[in-house]
Structure 1
Amino acid sequence: MPATEVKNTNGTVAVPPSTRKSEAGSSEPGYRVIRRNGGVTPFDPAKITIALTKAFLAVEGSTAAGSRRVHDIVEELAEQVVSALTRRADADRLFHIEEIQDQVELALMRGEHHRVARAYVLYREERARERAAETVDAEAPQSTLQMTRDDGTLVALDEARLAEIVHEACAGLESVSAEPILSETKRNLYDGIRQDELSLAPILASRTLVEQEPDYAFVSARLLLDKLRREALTFVSERPEQATQAEMSERYARYFPDFVAKGIANDLIDPELARFDLERLGAALRPERDLNFQFLGLQTLYDRYFLHANGTRFELPQAFFMRVAMGLAVREIDREARAIEFYDLLSSFDFMASTPTLFNSGTLRPQLSSCFLTTVADDLDGIFKAVKDNALLAKYSGGLGNDWTPVRGLGAHIKGTNGESQGVVPFLKVANDTAIAVNQGGKRKGAVCAYLESWHIDIEEFLDLRKNTGDDRRRTHDMNTANWVPDLFMERVAADGPWTLFSPDETPDLHDLYGKAFRAAYEAYEAKAEAGELRVFKTVRAVDLWRRMLTMLFETGHPWVTFKDPCNIRSPQGHVGVVHSSNLCTEITLNTSKDEVAVCNLGSVNLVNHIADGALDLERLARTVGTAMRMLDNVIDINFYTIPEARHSNLRHRPVGLGLMGFQDALQKLRIPYASEDAVAFADASMEAISYYAISASVELADERGRYPTFEKSLWSKGILPIDSIRLLEEARPGVEMDNAATLDWESLRKRVKKVGMRNSNCMAIAPTATISNICGVSQSIEPAYQNLFVKSNMSGDFTVVNAALIHDLKDRGLWDEVMMSDLKYFDGSIGQIDRVPDDLKALYATAFEIDSAWLIEAASRRQKWIDQAQSLNLYIANPSGKKLDELYRHAWKKGLKTTYYLRSRSATHVEKSTLKGTDGKLNAVSASSVSAEPIAIDPNAAWTKACAIDDPECEACQ
């Protein structure tokens, strides 16, 4: 292979841009390298091959020179290095020579060539000492560098301003220093550097220090703010402009009306926003809150949320929050006062609205809802209408849950043609491809989940949809899937009984029945099948089908396991319909039919922000929940509905889903280990408070605005609150194991609900918060920490994530040093195996795979008693086996959970071990993921010793 060529994974040859030639023969702009002397040269992959070869020669001697083994290893490693450098880089990206050497070192460690890597590290350190000795007495030369402005003109590079910006970014953060950032930044400067490259240089320099000191995540964000300010202020003022953070205390208010005007002029902001008192709102902006961002959060907003015109971001963070708040307050009477109230809540990070709300509030198409649930009819018109509806709903950033159970199964009779049905699977393939084609307005991946009841004749094929083997025409590699499991099936599994599969065209009422009524109808159909009165059916052993469900969940991560009966029995809205499925992320449980597409509007309380003086601050939580519920209720009336069935359903029932995030952070702030009775008790107490205040807020809104139209005959109207509906489940399924203790004054609230009514049919649902928790810089949803040090990937890139609380505790005990950092990497972000870490810290900072998932289920069960919908509950299992999975999911069912979400399992390869100091994903990542991306084939009859893990960083459809 020529030295300038790198093979792609598909076997084709990729030529780096620096080596490509135009038709005239001249080199096109491409990747370039900054040498240590400041010079810039074209990037030459051949030099990487040479360096690797020399490293092997140094360790293995001259015999390595002609070794085919070494030659092949070097080629493979060189390909990895080039791929890592160019994977997310722009076509004209600059690399520093040290950055390239970092990637060489990382590739050697990944390949477990430890002796060669060690020699390479020692060589680099020796050369660094030699260079330092050569320059120690040299007088620093006066800078004569120039910068290329956006218009192409050259000006002297203003190093004084560069230093001012870096020092300002470090202000108020005791554990950081401007000097290493400035030193690294200057190393990456060259004569004629572009203005955008100059803005990026200190950001990249700061990001490499995050693993050493977490506060550099704040520094990196503040440096990004400088780049954003220049971009936004120049756009709105139509002249080159930049400002420091200090200058923004006055500039923000003047910028805000210009921002609104520019947004309207570019058809991005609703002209109605110009009718607000913009001077009053601009004066209410809190510029200092820009400093609360960590880099991952701000970069995510920059890449995907801030308004832009022709690629130029012109929306600053506080303007962003105010734009969202104005959009939510547009129909309020005193809308300026409400906008300021909503803005204060969002910008404080006490509460965050879901991604569609953040994307679209205040715009020309305010599609603010997160989730849509549909039922697919059993005819071609209905099926393809459902596919079209998916496309329309997904276009403006909605996540979809489709109930496919009514569609007749394989072999069923088609009366119109006197033929036989191909079943549900071919139509699922169409829905899968539609989700990919309509990728939520180009902002994130389209996402849909198909649900099928466990008695459907096609259930066995449905289980195979995500497999990588078999007929690809009957596979849906991009669609999520979920089992909608009746209690009767779980009882048959426990009793090792038979289970009969039917086609819904012959058993149509099963779809709408649950509890005792389902049991009676199902057993009657079994009798008809045995008597030969049904055409399409199949009897299997219930345990065998259950094992196959768990096997597929284990191998492919799908279908998820969700429970039909508790979702319906405890639903407040059983008097007007049936819950036929959950949504994309398994937290929504709302009725669907051919006339109603369920819609849910989501947002999450940041729990850790409500911990004060070692306890939950109930007064602050009550204020937060009250304002949040008003915002969520406003969404229903403001919303842009793409199909009439969604509008009809949402206005009729007015459901919302208030959730939470930062649960693990709150535990760590309270010094409570996740795997403990105290954590279960806190899950109970915190959710009880959120539930109490959410229901109270909905009552107050009903008093002000009126009840939701279908309130009468609901469980609410009978004084049956979520905590009371446990009794209904116990009556339908004796033996359910749910706690029913309470601490707040529920009796008074119960009476007020019956008297005044509710504004919303449903109030609570805990979503994954995959993105909005990043924005706020807290742990996701109710999740335990995935790792204490890792590189997170999402659509904005790769980001070093480090548990700041752990690092601060280690520092307080004198344990944070280079060795500890190295150990943390070696043990995949876990401190459990590091001997010198005290046991109390090991318990407090135990990661997801070190915690028995039974604790997650116990905590979830305590929350579920207060929630009128459900929760996205991921389960983790480090050393899975068939027996463990069986016990885990049966335990979830017995504890009264309505749904479960992903099963996450360790792969054979964990975090890559590295001696690198910097771990920024775009520079020198320690880990792309500690979870396998590909399913591992297993023998379903054997003990399960491996599991494919499901960790999709782009699964952000709900939040």
Structure 2
Amino acid sequence: MYRVLKLNGSVEPFQPEKLRRSIERAAQDAGVEVDGAADIKVERDVGSWELADLVHVELLKKAIERPELAEVAKSHLLGRIYKEIFGRDFLRVKSDEEYQRRALAAFEKLAGVIKPEALELLRQLKLRPEFDRSLSYNALRLFTNGNYALRRLDFQLAETPSMAAARVATAVARDVERARLYYDYITSLKLIPASPYWFNAWTSKEMFASCFILMIEDCLSSITHPGKRCIYDVLTRSGLIQQAGGGVGYDFSLLRPEGDVVRGSAGVASGPISFMKLFDANVEVIKQGGKRRGAQMGTLHVWHPDIRKFIKAKTGELKDVHLQNFNISVVVDDAFMEKALDVDKDPNYPLVNPRIVVEKLGIKPIEVLELTREVQLPKDATVGSVNAKELFREIVEGAWDSGDPGLIFKSNMNASNSLLYVNVDGDRYVWFGTNPCAEVPGADKDVCNLTHINLVKFVKEGCSGRTLEEKLECIDWAGLAETARVGVRFLDDAVDISTTGMKDVDETYRKIRKIGLGVMGLAEMLIKLEIPYASWDAVTLVNRVLAWIYLNALDESAELARERGPFKYFHQSDYARGVIPVLKYQDFVWSRWERVRAAYPPEYRELGDRLKAITYETRRWLDAMAKRFGKPTLAELSEKVKGGVRNSVVMSVAPTGRTSILAGTTSGVEPVFALAFLRNVTVGTLVEYYWPGVEYLRARGLWTPEVRRAVEESGMLRDAPVPEDVKHLLATAMEIHWAWHVLMQASAQQWVDQGISKTINMPANATKDDVYWAFALAWALGVKGITVYRDKSKSVQVIYTGIKQEIKKKLADTKIVVKPLSLDATISDAAEQVKLKALEEGKDPYCKTGECG
């Protein structure tokens, strides 16, 4: 007789009849007949949650033929959630009042986990049990396995999704009326707060920031170098941030190169790469407090003498074993890019030892990170030079081989920095690095405070159009504007509540007041409007949607400044002079384009010229929309911001890996990844389908056995017997030419004052020249940071497109063998299983080391 280990530590015999009854109850709740669709054979001891997972996998395998079985899997999972939180058979209770009563009792059991003052606000908020049922199976699974739900001290689940949403809304608002507003937007899935809100709201570690940027100076410890940001000091800060569920970006350019002199010990330096290993190990140990895998970005400026070692740090034999908790990117300036692309006919680019620059010039570390070709360097600070063309090719080869390194374009990054060169806490404010997924460029101690608008919610039902202008009328522009404004208020409220436990970081955060309102669901919005992702209509639409959000977000920040006061450094910022950062950025990018466009082949010149035209046409369109909806035009907004803005920046587009799963839509501004794919999770391999795509095919009578087989084999419609326009509309990330990926990112970037996290996906057969021109075009079109990923360039991936024959055979096997579990397992062992699920299933395919939003 095999046994089942329960989360409370008890062990009971496996009872097939009991399992069958639980499935039937879930089917009854969903109004579906199961007919033995989830018969499970158990031949080993098993944990109760693992057993449930196996039931769900079996149901989901068959849901492609019988979609209603996915609802049974969801109902079964929701039943388990309710049983653990509320008690037995709660699915049968249909009363909202009963739900409210039991939810408040469950909140009270969180004493010692949440702050006492939370209960008073939570009692005044009417919960929405329908929110729980509105979520998909994947969203509920993320909610339970991804640590969005709090757990009691005994590690039992303590919250339903609607309860957690209430906790987030009240924690940020600290006011009942505002909490009701935020709760309405969260539970309608119009606004999705970033993961740390769900992890930390009302807890003792109430940190809402997703990620941070930290400077590392060339010293080991502030014990011997008081006042400096030394390696081990930053390592400690990183540990605290990771523990609370945040990610960190660091720039290692100030560290002296390998082999350089260390006078204090009469030795030689080990160089930046060796210290990156230390930070990598730090995250491996902490793993973000068991909430999700650690996320880190490591950057090195292209002038550093160790740049070649950095480029090769994650390529070749090292790519699957070295610095696995890091994304890495090379920071390049315009001087380097112009030499690399032969705009500047002299290819020689100087390498600079940062230690010598500091010692000889006596300048501050941040000024080293500002180095440009205009800076006059002492002769012995320049330790050689590289051929920029050759070095650029080496960067390209590394990215082609493994996806690392990416590129950060320093001039593009700072072109929308409203505080460029302003003195902030004793340092000139220059964005020298980024967060782990590059959507937030920043200076030392900068913070990513993120929330995302779900664009799918603003496509009107039953609306159709032939031309782009007709399709644009299918968007609820008024609702989108109001959501952007609520999002800005939500994020600004969070600035004053969030705390890292690091006083200087929190102080800088509140002085700068960076917020990052972003989007998700762009690809699904395009499908609903029947606009292919790889099209000029899509490039135009994203330009206009982001422009509209930006206009309303900045205007709301100006309104908040009138209510609460502007951010501390406002009077030294561009805003005080009436300069709107994204317009300054656009003028910079397109004036440079005219200077460098001759370096590009004619077909790429045409792309740049057309995007420039779209961007300036959007300015005219935006003014017309502003007048139509009673919002300020760009000229009026320019005057308005002179009176103050609350936030130094307002927008950032994160990858939204987990949060898009919660919302049940596509990630960030990415295309659909695949129509069918495999996801590796702790119970094995799950098959997932992009259901809106399947439903689109079903609605047109195209979901035939032949089409299904083609989709399952490749994850695409490429070889399916469907019309070409359908293939074009439902084209997936690997099918879309890299130029459309770059154009979509560049188009969105025109109206985002921070950055955009996006992967330029390429098929396995992409060439190094493809990567070369993707990087080159991205720089010229104003992209701030770029990452390419060539399919199968790493031996291990989080998700794989299509379902290979050998895996299909394994999945089709009705005999499911569960993992062995020790008979003397304790409650802590059972709890550890759940923690591991969170770590393994929390990975984001669009952010290689973790999830940033």
Q: What residue is the counterpart of 1:71 in the other structure?
A: none
Give the alignment of 1:311-710 within 5 angstroms. Answer: 311-330=155-174, 335-381=175-221, 382-467=230-315, 469=317, 475-495=322-342, 497-508=347-358, 512=366, 518-521=372-375, 524-525=376-377, 528=378, 533-534=379-380, 537-574=383-420, 575-576=422-423, 577-592=429-444, 597-612=445-460, 613-614=463-464, 615-710=474-569
CA RMSD of aligned residues (A): 3.4
Could you say if the C-alpha distance between residues 795 and 610 of structure 1 is closer, same or farther in structure 2, counting changes exceeding 3 Å? farther
Per-residue deviation, 1:751: 3.8
CA positional deviation for 1:356: 0.8
In 2, distance between residues paired with 1:491 and 1:155? 69
1:913 to 804, 816, 841: 804
- CA deviation vs aligned residue, 1:24-68 (integer Å, no higher than 9, x gap): xxxx968xxxxxxxxxxxxxxxxxxxxxxxxxxxxxxxxxxxxxx
Cα distance in 2 for residues equivalent to 1:440 and 1:901: 24
Per the alignment, do residues 919 and 708 of structure 1 end up closer, same or farther by CA in structure 2, a change over 3 Å counting? farther
Shift of 1:956: 3.6
SS at match of 1:740: helix
**CA-to-partner distance for each residue in 1:107-137, whole Å, 9 max, x for gaps?**
xxxxxxxxxxxxxxxxxxxxxxxxxxxxxxx
CA contact (8 A) 2:215 2:443 kept: no
Q: Does 1:881 align with 2:767?
A: yes
Determine the C-alpha separation between the residues in 2 that align with 1:901 and 1:454: 16
Query: Structure 1 residues 357, 470: CA separation in 2 closer, same or farther (over 3 Å shift)?
Result: closer
Q: Residue 351 of structure 1: CA displacement?
A: 1.2
- Distance in 2 (CA, whole Å) between partners of 1:349 and 1:848 is 25
Q: Equivalent of 1:207, from 36, 60, 73?
A: 60
Shift of residue 922, structure 1, vs aligned partner:
11
Q: Partners in 2 of 1:515 and 1:314 — Cα distance?
A: 47
Change (3 A) 1:199 1:793: closer
**Are the counterparts in 2 of residues 210 and 800 from structure 1 also a CA contact under 8 Å?**
no
Alpha-carbon distance between aligned partners in 2 of 1:193 and 1:373, rounded to the nearest angstrom: 43
- Aligned partners of 1:152 and 1:778: how far apart in 2? 40
**CA displacement at 1:345 relative to structure 2:** 1.0
Alignment of 1:704-783 (within 5 A): 704-725=563-584, 726-730=586-590, 735=595, 737=608, 738=612, 739-741=615-617, 742=619, 743-745=621-623, 746-783=633-670
Q: Give SS of 1:822's match.
A: helix
Determine the C-alpha separation between the residues in 2 that align with 1:201 and 1:477. 30
Q: Does 1:789 align with 2:676?
A: yes
Match of 1:257 among 100, 104, 109: 104
Matched, 1:900 2:786: yes
Residues 676 and 849 from structure 1, CA distance in 2 versus in 1: closer, same or farther, beyond 3 angstroms? Answer: same
Residue deviations 1:87-119 (CA, integer Å, cap 9, x gap): xxx9999xxxxxxxxxxxxxxxxxxxxxxxxxx
Corresponding position of 1:872: 757
Q: Which amino acid aligns with 1:250?
A: E
Report the counterpart of residue 94 of structure 2 in structure 1: 247
CA distance 1:958–1:186, change in 2 (3 Å) = closer
Distance 1:472 1:230 in 2: 41
**Equivalent residue of 1:744, what SS?**
helix
- Once the 2 structures are TM-superposed, how far is the Cα of residue 243 of structure 1 from its aligned partner? 1.3
Shift of residue 556 of structure 1? 2.4
SS at match of 1:888: helix
Do the aligned residues in 1 keep the contact of 2:205 with 2:499 (CA within 8 Å)? Answer: yes
Question: Given that residues 5 and 48 in structure 2 are in contact (C-alpha distance below 8 angstroms), is that contact kept between their aligned partners in structure 1?
Answer: no
Counterpart CA distance in 2 for 1:919 and 1:831 is 24
| Alignment CA distance shift 1:749-1:803 (3 Å) | farther
Q: What is the letter of the counterpart of residue 312 of structure 1?
A: Q
Q: Distance in 1 between matches of 2:667 and 2:759?
A: 11
For the structure 1 residues 916 and 549, does the alpha-carbon distance in structure 2 shift closer, same or farther, using more than 3 Å as the test? Answer: closer
Q: What are the ranges of 5 or more consecutive residues in structure 2 without an aligned counterpart?
A: 222-229, 424-428, 465-473, 597-607, 624-632, 817-843
* Match in the other structure for 1:928: none
Structure 1 letter corresponding to 2:171: G
Q: Tell me whether 1:890 sits opposite 2:755 in the alignment.
A: no
Offset, 1:201: 7.0
Instruction: Tell me the TM-score normalized by structure 2.
Output: 0.82
Larger Rg: 1
Q: Return the match for 2:73 from 216, 220, 224.
A: 220
Moved more, 735-744 or 912-921: 912-921
* Alignment partners' CA distance in 2, 1:838 and 1:413: 66
Residue 667 of structure 1, CA deviation: 0.3
1:851 matches 2:736:
yes
Q: Is the 8 A contact 1:373 1:401 kept in 2?
A: yes
Q: TM-score, normalised by structure 1?
A: 0.73
Which letter does structure 1 place at the counterpart of 2:413? C
8 Å Cα contact 2:451/2:516 also seen in 1: yes
String of CA shifts for 1:296-327, please: whole Å, max 9, x gaps: 11101111221123232121111111111111
Which amino acid is 1:371 matched to? Answer: C
The change in CA–CA distance for 1:910 and 1:447 in structure 2 (over 3 A counts) is closer
Distance 1:155 1:832 in 2: 43
Distance 1:398 1:702 in 2: 28
User: 1:197 offset after TM fit, Å?
Assistant: 8.3
**Cα 1:617/1:499, change in 2 over 3 Å:** same
| Equivalent position SS for 2:182 | helix
1:810 to 697, 703, 714: 697
For residue 785 of structure 2, give the secondary structure of its aligned residue in structure 1.
Answer: coil
Tell me, yes or no, if the aligned pair for 2:655 and 2:852 is still in contact at 8 Å: yes
Q: Report the alpha carbon displacement of residue 430 of structure 1 after superposing the two structures with TM.
A: 1.0
- Alignment of structure 1 residues 105-254 onto 2, 5 Å: 157=18, 163-170=24-31, 178-179=32-33, 181-185=34-38, 203-214=56-67, 216-234=69-87, 241-244=88-91, 247-254=94-101
- What residue in structure 2 maps to residue 20 of structure 1? none
Distance in 2 between residues matched to 1:918 and 1:809, nearest whole Å: 27
Alignment length, in residue pairs?
756
Q: Which residue of 2 aligns with 1:300?
A: 142
Give the residue type in structure 1 aligned to 2:587: R
CA distance in 2: counterparts of 1:357 and 1:426, whole angstroms: 34
**Whole-Å Cα distance in 2 between the matches of residues 624 and 692 of structure 1?**
12
1:273 aligns with 2:118: yes
How far apart are the structure 2 equivalents of 1:887 and 1:728?
21
Question: What per-residue deviation string (whole Å, max 9, x for no partner) do you get for residues 456-507 of structure 1?
Answer: 011111112224647999x534322111111110011112611221111223
Query: Is the 8 Å Cα contact of residues 399 and 771 (structure 2) preserved in structure 1?
Result: no
After superposition, the Cα gap between the structure-2 partners of 1:897 and 1:795, relative to the gap in structure 1 and judged at 3 Å, is: farther
Identify if the C-alpha distance between structure 1 residues 326 and 906 changes in structure 2 by more than 3 Å, giving closer, same or farther: same
**8 Å contact kept, 1:708–1:761:** yes
Distance 1:860 1:699, change over 3 A: same
Return the alpha-carbon distance in structure 1 between the equivalents of residues 107 and 499 of structure 2.
21
Alpha-carbon deviation of 1:515? 12
Give the whole-Å Cα distance in 2 for the aligned partners of 1:689 and 1:777: 24
CA contact (8 A) 2:2 2:42 kept: no
Aligned to 1:12: none
Q: How many angstroms apart in 1 are the aligned matches of 2:453 and 2:319?
A: 45
Q: Is the 8 A contact 1:723 1:740 kept in 2?
A: no
Distance 1:586 1:377, change over 3 A: same
Give the distance between the partners of 2:592 and 2:704, measured in 1 at CA: 57
What corresponds to 2:826 in structure 1?
none
Cα pair 2:589 2:781 within 8 Å, conserved? no
> 1:296, 1:799 within 8 Å by CA — same for their partners in 2?
no
Partner secondary structure for residue 837 of structure 1: coil
8 Å CA contact 1:166, 1:202 repeated in 2: no
SS in 1 for 2:518: strand
Shift of 1:809: 2.8
